Amino acid sequence: MGAYRDFHARSIEQREAFWAEQAELVDWHRPFDRVLDYSRPPFAKWFVGGRTNLCHNAVDRHLAARGGQKALVYISTETGAERAWTFRELHAEVNRCAAMIRSLGAGHGERVLIYMPMIPEAVFAMLACARLGAIHSVVFGGFAAASLAARIDDARPRVMITADGGLRGGRPILYRPMYEEAIRLAKAPPQKVVVCNRGLDPELSLVGGRDLDYETLRAAHASEAVPVEWLESSEPSYILYTSGTTGRPKGVQRDTGGHAVALAASMKYIYAGNPGETMFTTSDIGWVVGHSYIVYGPLIRGMTTILYEGLPIRPDAGIWWKIVAENRVSVMFSSPTAARVLKKQDPAFLRKYDIGSLRHLFLAGEPLDEPTHRWFAEQLGKPVIDHYWQTETGWPILSSVPGVEATRVKFGSPSFPVYGYDLKLLREADAGEAGPDEKAVVAIVPPLPPGCMTTVWGDDERFVKTYFGTFRDRQVYSTFDWGIRDRDGYHYILGRTDDVINVAGHRLGTREIEEAVQAHANIAEVAVVGVADAVKGQLPLAFAVVKDPARLATEEGRLAEEKAVLDTVDRQLGAIARPARVHFVNVLPKTRSGKLLRRLIQALAEGRDPGDLTTIEDPAALEQIRGAVGGKPD
């Protein structure tokens, strides 16, 4: 991997020259004076003095060369809708939407909260905010009132753009009860609310003086053009809250210039997508993956992006591959959670369509276990690239970088540090660098590269304390994840630093045990947590979903299966890691972004109050855990 190693080395050793070169991938209205201002560590300012605009880079600048090319393709298997917008049409629509938002008094520096399902208007609204220099804060449409209210109070938006509802598996999820309640709960609710009426809520009513109908407002501004607001590079483009897997969500603030450059470079080097091609990212605009790789990244690159509203297995498990075939998708991005959903389906669906156009499938968001990684790559016959990043960074930290060099993928590993990241594995005790195969904290030596969060919205102190306060004598950014590097330089993520289980003085990552459990052929999914134990300090408990529940039909069958799983762990990791029990459940509690909520499982297993439940996807999953641990004899 000589070529990539050199590329990475240059990005660190000649940081400013490297990024000045990447900055040429986007348009600047005014050139920057300095590549980097790092006079106030750990706050980094990139492309100081430069003026640019994300909407210009995503839309306007493509009009000349590719105005007639599709920019946005919307596919909803929930409603059956399918529609495309060329760059020219997208430009017109974004101008209308910007005029709408401007008419409500939200301009440069004002916040606009976008609480919307996966419909094109959500993309128009994001780009319209960028055009105006307004700061968008997209809140995932599945969040209920309390979560929405907390984000309203933190971001203090002047305007909220929402819809009457979303759809999931054909079932409407009405938004009005949620935003009404959130507005009631919020201390500083938005003054204006724009509602997209999809005809899902027969009782939809607009509150006079506050609410406006999207279509009506659009019609009033149909022919307006709104000039681009040229922002200084460091001015915020958006706020996005982290998933809340480990606690209270943090308002990640992103800049403008660094963000544009980082995404443009990542599209070229990591995703290896070319202008004129199509990218399909199966996430949601409410998550960072949706921000970076449904909306901004592909459009900045001059690619067509697909906005998909629907499930991965409806009408059947072939739907994504049908979309890939029909749209000649070359780059696809999904999640390990989705991979595990597909793994439970008939693999024939993966071969039903001609996916010859697809070059790479990228997965991120959660640990990708080796068996699932291998299974997916073999079934698809395409490189499946695990890559690791965070809401905070906005683009990958660890990845294979095929646009620079096609390095071999090792199953279960997100490969190497991405260019721009001075990544270190540091020992928790003394911040010393760990050797090969030694588990340590994944850390980044600042300055963080362009595109990473610049601060916590409204709370510089929390930014410094939270992210740079892990080690006493060394100001480095902590990812709060454990990692390990093998002798070939490949990295592995071993779980979160607060998910460690301490068994009789041995510190075990939940991920390690989960991987071992997963090696048993009948396990579809598993969560391992540590529960307090008077003798050993903590004991691992496993909660597993099986592929074939028939084997658990009798008590003997269940015991045999539990023993087989425990034996698998013994063989892989040794008896020290052996879970005290394996509880079989039908569903595991997850965040709405599909991440395992180990802290909730742990609280229930220890008989504690699980606390804040607003981020949970399916509350019924908690009942399963309660039932399982309640049945435990000791």
Among 329, 595, 600, 601, binds ligand ATP (CB under 6 A): 595
The answer to whether 235 and 256 have CB atoms below 8 angstroms apart is yes
**Residue 348 contacts by C-beta under 8 Å, 6 or more apart in sequence?**
none
CB of 391 vs ligand ATP, minimal distance in Å: 3
Query: Of the two residues 273 and 365, which places its CB atom closer to ligand ATP in the complex?
Result: 365
The window from 10-18, 43-51, 369-377, 386-394 that contacts ligand ATP (CB under 6 A) reads: 386-394
The pair phi, psi for residue 54, each rounded to 5°, is: -65, -40
Number of residues lying near ligand ATP (CB under 6 A):
25
**Residue 37 contacts by C-beta under 8 Å, 6 or more apart in sequence?**
44, 45, 48
The window from 5-13, 79-87, 190-198, 363-371 that contacts ligand ATP (CB under 6 A) reads: 363-371
Among 253, 390, 400, 624, binds ligand ATP (CB under 6 A): 390
CB atoms within 10 A of CB 408: 10
Q: Residue 160's beta-bridge partner residues?
A: 113, 193
Site membership for ligand ATP, residue 481 (CB under 6 A):
yes
Query: Of the two residues 295 and 368, which places its CB atom closer to ligand ATP in the complex?
Result: 368
Site membership for ligand ATP, residue 388 (CB under 6 A):
yes
Query: Of the two residues 266 and 390, which places its CB atom closer to ligand ATP in the complex?
Result: 390
The answer to whether 155 and 239 have CB atoms below 8 angstroms apart is yes
User: Can you give the length of the chain in residues?
Assistant: 634
The answer to whether 52 and 28 have CB atoms below 8 angstroms apart is yes
Query: Of the two residues 204 and 442, which places its CB atom closer to ligand ATP in the complex?
Result: 442
CB of 569 vs ligand ATP, minimal distance in Å: 20
DSSP 8-state secondary structure symbol assigned to residue 84 = E
The answer to whether 546 and 522 have CB atoms below 8 angstroms apart is yes
Site membership for ligand ATP, residue 292 (CB under 6 A):
no
447: preceding bond cis by omega (within 30 degrees): yes
CB of 452 vs ligand ATP, minimal distance in Å: 12
Among 197, 246, 274, 466, binds ligand ATP (CB under 6 A): 246
Torsion angle defined by CA atoms of residues 61, 330, 22 and 88, in that order, rounded to the nearest 10 degrees: 10
Query: Of the two residues 17 and 613, which places its CB atom closer to ligand ATP in the complex?
Result: 613
Q: Give the pair of three-digit tokens for residue 250.
A: 């943090």
Site membership for ligand ATP, residue 244 (CB under 6 A):
yes
Torsion angle defined by CA atoms of residues 309, 373, 433 and 537, in that order, rounded to the nearest 10 degrees: 90
Among 53, 57, 95, 243, binds ligand ATP (CB under 6 A): 243
Measured distance CA(586)–CA(228) in Å, rounded? 51
Site membership for ligand ATP, residue 496 (CB under 6 A):
yes
CB of 63 vs ligand ATP, minimal distance in Å: 34
The answer to whether 605 and 233 have CB atoms below 8 angstroms apart is no
Site membership for ligand ATP, residue 371 (CB under 6 A):
no
The answer to whether 232 and 50 have CB atoms below 8 angstroms apart is yes
Per DSSP (E only), the strands in 87-215 are 111-115, 135-138, 159-163, 165-168, 171-174, 192-196, 211-213
Residue with tokens 């919205």: 457
CB atoms within 10 A of CB 367: 26
Query: Of the two residues 368 and 582, which places its CB atom closer to ligand ATP in the complex?
Result: 368
Site membership for ligand ATP, residue 236 (CB under 6 A):
no
The window from 29-37, 62-70, 246-254, 525-533 that contacts ligand ATP (CB under 6 A) reads: 246-254
Query: Of the two residues 277 and 481, which places its CB atom closer to ligand ATP in the complex?
Result: 481
Query: Of the two residues 47 and 140, which places its CB atom closer to ligand ATP in the complex?
Result: 140
602-634: buried (b, 16+ CB within 10 Å) or exposed (e) per residue? Answer: bbbbeeeebeeebbbbeeebbebbeebbeeeee
The pair phi, psi for residue 424, each rounded to 5°, is: -130, 150
Site membership for ligand ATP, residue 391 (CB under 6 A):
yes
Site membership for ligand ATP, residue 229 (CB under 6 A):
no
Measured distance CA(309)–CA(216) in Å, rounded? 24
Query: Of the two residues 142 and 244, which places its CB atom closer to ligand ATP in the complex?
Result: 244
Q: Give the pair of three-digit tokens for residue 259.
A: 């963000």
Among 77, 162, 242, 334, binds ligand ATP (CB under 6 A): 242
Query: Of the two residues 219 and 613, which places its CB atom closer to ligand ATP in the complex?
Result: 613
Site membership for ligand ATP, residue 251 (CB under 6 A):
no
Strands 440-444 and 477-485: antiparallel
Site membership for ligand ATP, residue 367 (CB under 6 A):
yes
Q: Which of residues 547-576 bind ligand ATP (CB under 6 A)?
A: none
The window from 17-25, 108-116, 237-245, 456-464 that contacts ligand ATP (CB under 6 A) reads: 237-245
CB of 89 vs ligand ATP, minimal distance in Å: 32
Q: Residue 433's beta-bridge partner residues?
A: 426
Measured distance CA(581)–CA(602) in Å, rounded? 13
Among 152, 317, 453, 493, binds ligand ATP (CB under 6 A): 493
Site membership for ligand ATP, residue 364 (CB under 6 A):
yes
DSSP of 247-295: SS--EEEE-SHHHHHHHHHHHHHTS---TTSEEEE-S-TTSHHHIIIII
CB of 137 vs ligand ATP, minimal distance in Å: 15
CB of 294 vs ligand ATP, minimal distance in Å: 15
Among 365, 394, 449, 450, binds ligand ATP (CB under 6 A): 365
The window from 178-186, 314-322, 365-373, 502-510 that contacts ligand ATP (CB under 6 A) reads: 365-373
Among 11, 253, 479, 602, binds ligand ATP (CB under 6 A): 479
Site membership for ligand ATP, residue 366 (CB under 6 A):
yes
Residue 356 buriedness (CB in 10 A; 0-12 / 13-18 / 19+):
exposed
- One symbol per residue from 507 to 526: x for binding ligand ATP (CB under 6 A), - otherwise; what is it? --------------------
CB of 182 vs ligand ATP, minimal distance in Å: 19
The answer to whether 337 and 366 have CB atoms below 8 angstroms apart is yes
DSSP 8-state secondary structure symbol assigned to residue 296 = I
The answer to whether 376 and 343 have CB atoms below 8 angstroms apart is yes
- One symbol per residue from 410 to 449: x for binding ligand ATP (CB under 6 A), - otherwise; what is it? ----x-----------------------------------
Site membership for ligand ATP, residue 387 (CB under 6 A):
yes
Measured distance CA(77)–CA(495) in Å, rounded? 34
CB of 575 vs ligand ATP, minimal distance in Å: 26
Q: Interface residues with ligand ATP (CB under 6 A)?
A: 242-247, 249, 364-368, 386-391, 414, 479, 481, 493, 496, 593, 595
